[in-house]
Structure formats: structure tokens, C-alpha cells
Chains A and B, each alone.
Chain A
């Protein structure tokens, strides 16, 4: 599913990207059906940030809401990209994992419950390092358990993108929805430039960055299931349709043979032009 971004509809669009995590999560639900769990007034914060002079956020940068999407029970978990880069700490990580586990338990009780995860995140919160990394591993385990019953949909809208260990969580999703502004990858351009030099990745080359990690490229190479405009009703519509679609017959991350064949067929003698890569990638293998 893809829409072009021109015309009158562009002018009238309601930007999804300009919304904060709480507003984004709310916008995805059937009107009036959602409520927040462990919100700011519960004050479950990071125990680790104040120890290092960093002001904690009352919800630890993770919003959990429960309600209905397309008439079905759903939980939405949204990371706040503006707080610590949306990074996974002990509390934000556990909020996400526990929410998915509760959704899984409901499914087992006969209440079909989907999960939508909004990823604006650089991955592990280094100020909580090993608890952040462990949280991602536990989240991944919970995604694997839940997605047998109901779809786990990952939505990346921008501007932080989805990087680091959380890209693996996205890789396990039933469906990935991205805007053009969004990016998805394991390592950001700065990290690659830092580790292997500017020849390997010039992080100042914005066109290159989006050509590799951007939503349009990911969609064109079959790594995202929908490319949506930065328009709240369109985003909500895409989420609704995937909730209704249900669990896919096979998950992308379970199709290792297909992807391994594609990797085997790639030459490695030089870098690939991202546009040319689209043809290389989708016509080989399987």
C-alpha cells in the first residue's frame, strides 16, 4: 500500500510526525475507546537516571494505551523520541514487554488482542546499558510469543527512526509501516562512519542516508509492508487495515531461506547503488 504525497490532500494533511508519543498513540484508536496505563501520574520512572544527574520523565518515555482498533482489542505502546532519543531503559522496556505479555494472555483467554509498537528509538539507553539490552531481548521474546496469536505491527514515522537493538524487534514484527521520513536500520550512519570511516558511510550525505535506511527504500525492497504519508488519518487507516488482516501466514523473520538466497546472490566487490539494489534484491532468490 503506498500513496503519493502531492496535491490538495498534502496541504490539508494533519502531520503525524509533529505529534508526541501520547498523541500518536491516541490517534490510532477508535475514538473514545482508549485509556492510558502507567501514565505520568503513576510516576514509575527510571531509578538510574537521577543517579547520573539526568532528569527522568514521569512515564520514562514510554506510553502504553489499551483500547479498540477497527473494533478489536488492541494495545499501543509508543516510545517518545524526544526523551533520551526514545532509548530503551529498564522501565520503558518493561512497560513495552509487560504490555505485550498481557495482550498475549488475553489472546490465550479468547480475546483477540493486537499490538502496535511506535518506534522512535536509537536502541539501548546507554545510561542503563545492560538493563536496556536485556529489555530488548525480553521484548523480542514477547513479540515472538504474541505474534502467534495476533499481529504485532511496528510503526516508524520519524524523525528519530528505529535503530540499534530495536531494529531487531521491528524485524520480528508481523507488519512494518513507515513514512518516507522514517528510517530503519541496525546501525545509524554516524556509527558506521565512526567504526569504518567516511568511505564506508558518509553520514553527512542525507540523500544517501535516506536512500539506504528510508521508508521508501525499505518499502521498495519488500522490507516494509506499507509506505504512508505523514498524515494522521492515513497512518491510522494503515494500522486499522493490518489489525484487521490478522497474523500473516509466515513472518518475514521466519523466511531465512529466501533472504539467505538473496544475500548469496549479491556480489560484494563494490558498494551497491541503492536504486540498483532494488532490482538486485527483489529478482533473485526464492
Chain B
């Protein structure tokens, strides 16, 4: 399993936009830039580590108060700007270690900062903006709910350094009172528990798994290829409903989320009765 390195976000943000900087007035942990993507002018967003962050608990790439509200503001800007015109794509480049674990964060309601970002991303999607998440590294728990999980389409690299999960393995083992070995064994039979991105792909939530030789040093050709995939995802999103039903309707979901589909079918039938 991979350690969070905190470099991939910056690498790919720079690859797509030619820069790696926050907008004026924003904390250094949130990179925002508009750049061409296919025939669109997309907004790219990324959360990266800032070792000099004001809040001590976000200095290793955690998503905290400032990050949540900054993402919210930069996404809302796009919604407001494009109100009466073409809805630009919004691309979340995701490599986030976790949410911030701090007393200040809890006191100042980090749950609301996270919700504000998710609100902005989800509202953009509902307004017709294609929102695409590209998971280039880690996408954990509250951090992913904040930045990326409201996307129309999620893409990820097929790489050992990519991990989407609810909790880091050691902590998960502690909470569920199992050993890490036991968790690994369970994960082999129970795909939703796995830390392997290929098992995540079986759940039907991903639009595509992309093969990249070295995600920390991509070649120009690879960058162009990934851009092409983003363009494809944008087009796919534009010709689909703005909700998240694709996550349940995918071929993989019909295999791995049978219980979800059963719930939906039965609930609808009972809702209409009487």
C-alpha cells in the first residue's frame, strides 16, 4: 500500500495548466487556474500540502477550514460567471491525505467548510457544469467528500500509489478491532473494503481507470493522453443527466451493488402503494 507523497497533485496541475500556484489571496494549499482543455476553457482545482499553513493541523496536505471555503469560493465563481453562458468544465485533481484532525477545526466547524465545498461542486454539477474528478494519488474519506466526490465522472490512475478509501489501514484495523493482516484477508473477498484501486474499480463508481507509467513524472505524450480522457469524460457528462445515477447504472454496479439496486426498486414500489 502506498504512502501519501503529496507531490502528484502539483505535478498534474502543472501538467494541465503550466502553473502551480494559488489565486491571489488564497492559501497556498489550494491551486486554482483556468486553462484550455479540448475546446473548453476549464477550471482546474487541486489541494496540495502547505508546510507553512496557518492552521497547524493541515501542514501535511490535509483538507481543512481554509481549503474547504477556498474550494467553495473558486467553484462558485465559475457558476456565477457562467450563469447565462456555456457551462465550463470543472476539474478536481485529487491527491488528498485526509481531512484535518484538529481541535481548532472541530471548534470552527470543519464539517461546514467541507460541506460548503461539496455544495459548490454539487451545485455546479446540477447547474450543468461537467465536474470531473481525476484521482492521481490518495482520495480519503472526508477529504474526498469535500474535493472530488460530487463529480459527474471520476477517473483514477491504475497505480499502487492511488488509493480511495474511508480510513487508513492502521486506523481502520484499530477501530474494527482486527489486525492489519486480517483486514487484508477480508479485503480479498470483500471488494468494498479493499485498498487496491482495481478492486475499487469493480464497484462501478469509476468512469475509467487510466494506465500511466510513472504518475510522478509523466511524459508529454501521457499528459496529452490523460487530457484526451478528461475531454471524453466531459463529453460523456454533457450528454447525461446531472445526477449521480450513472454510479448505479454502470455495468460493474449491476454486479457489485445488487443490494443498492434492490433497495431502490423495492422502495419505489412501496412508496407508491396505498
User: Roughly how many angstroms separate A257 CA and B115 CA in the complex, as a whole number?
Assistant: 13
Docked complex: B227-253 residues within 8 A CB-CB of A: 243-244, 247
User: Roughly how many angstroms separate A171 CA and B265 CA in the complex, as a whole number?
Assistant: 28
Flag A25-45 by CB within 8 Å of B: 1 or 0 each.
Answer: 000000000010110001010
Q: In the complex, which range does the number of interface residues on chain A fall in?
A: 35 or more
A186 interface residue, CB < 8 Å from B? yes
Binds B, one of A4-12, A160-168, A240-248: A160-168
Contacts from A to B (Cβ < 8 Å): 35, 37-38, 42, 44, 46-48, 51-52, 64, 66, 90-91, 93-95, 98-99, 102, 123-124, 126-134, 136-138, 140-141, 144-145, 164-165, 167-172, 184-187, 191-192, 194-196, 200-201, 212-213, 218, 221, 223, 251-257, 259-260, 262-263, 266, 268, 271-272, 274, 277, 281
Q: B103, A133: Cβ atoms under 8 Å?
A: no
Q: A47, B259: Cβ atoms under 8 Å?
A: yes
User: Roughly how many angstroms separate A250 CA and B144 CA in the complex, as a whole number?
Assistant: 25
Known: A141-B122, A186-B142. A257 touches B149 (CB 8 A): no
User: Roughly how many angstroms separate A93 CA and B70 CA in the complex, as a whole number?
Assistant: 29
Known: A44-B259, A48-B190, A137-B150. A171 touches B112 (CB 8 A): yes
The residue in chain A whose Cβ has the minimal distance to the Cβ of B265 is: A98
For residue A251, give the distance in angstroms from its CB to the closest CB of chain B.
7
User: Roughly how many angstroms separate A223 CA and B111 CA in the complex, as a whole number?
Assistant: 10
Give how many A-B residue pairs fall within 8 Å (CB-CB).
Answer: 246
User: Roughly how many angstroms separate A131 CA and B109 CA in the complex, as a whole number?
Assistant: 26
B48 interface residue, CB < 8 Å from A? no
Q: A223, B109: Cβ atoms under 8 Å?
A: yes
For residue B167, give the distance in angstroms from its CB to the closest CB of chain A.
6
User: Roughly how many angstroms separate A37 CA and B266 CA in the complex, as a whole number?
Assistant: 9
On chain A, the residues within 8 Å of B166 by CB distance are 123-124, 126, 129-130, 132-133, 165
User: Roughly how many angstroms separate A124 CA and B99 CA in the complex, as a whole number?
Assistant: 14
B257 interface residue, CB < 8 Å from A? yes
The 8 Å CB contact of A52, one of B110, B141, B186, B194, is B186
25 A-B residue pairings within 8 Å (CB atoms): A48-B192, A52-B186, A98-B268, A102-B268, A126-B166, A127-B193, A132-B192, A134-B205, A137-B144, A144-B119, A145-B126, A168-B118, A168-B146, A171-B114, A186-B110, A187-B142, A191-B171, A192-B101, A196-B101, A200-B103, A213-B106, A255-B116, A256-B69, A259-B69, A272-B107
For residue B97, give the distance in angstroms from its CB to the closest CB of chain A.
11
Known: A46-B259, A134-B203, A165-B141. A256 touches B72 (CB 8 A): yes
